[in-house]
Amino acid sequence: MSETQDNGKPVVLIVDDDTDASRAVVRLLQKYNYELLTAAGGVEALDILAKQDVDILVLDVMMPDMTGLEVCEKLRQQQRFADLPIILLTGLDDFETRHAGMKLGVSEFLCKPFPHQELVSRIDAQLRVRKLSKEIESAQSQL
């Protein structure tokens, strides 16, 4: 999976069945140096991920076709997506949802409504971690 697209921008896939919520996240992130993709549900997100490399996934939990946790489970079953950072946006701030997400390797949780700058900060932090991990892997392979 590439670190960024050819234009140098990290690719963020936003998955939410609520079009207003999805548009709000897109409007927020357009101000930053990201290439943005959107999906209206889990099935569409998996279709996009099968064809397009992304650097981070911003994923709603409650969706009618497939929950965000089900999307995470399917992705983590594939080696290609083992290190894909996933930020869950959820209205469910309960132990069970957090625990299930942690078992599936979710990177971050944000409860709706969330402070806008917090989403940007968490995306940037996850992109930095991913970049550093890739640099370490590259250095190890050269040794």
Q: Which residues contact 142 (CB under 8 A, 6 or more apart)?
A: none
56-60: strand order across its sheet? 35-39, 11-15, 56-60, 86-90, 108-111
For the entire predicted model, the pTM comes to: 0.90
**pLDDT tens per residue across span 13-43:** 999 999 999 999 999 999 999 999 999 999 9
Residue 5 confidence (pLDDT) above 70: no
User: What local confidence, expressed as pLDDT, does residue 1 receive?
Assistant: 42
- Residue at 78 is within a domain: yes
CATH number, residue 108: 3.40.50.2300
- Residue at 6 is within a domain: no
Number of domains in the chain: 1
Range of the domain at 126: 11-142
**Best CA proximity match to 116, nearest among 57, 4, 9, 30:** 30
- Residue at 5 is within a domain: no
- Residue at 71 is within a domain: yes
- Residue at 48 is within a domain: yes
23 vs 91 pLDDT, higher one: 23
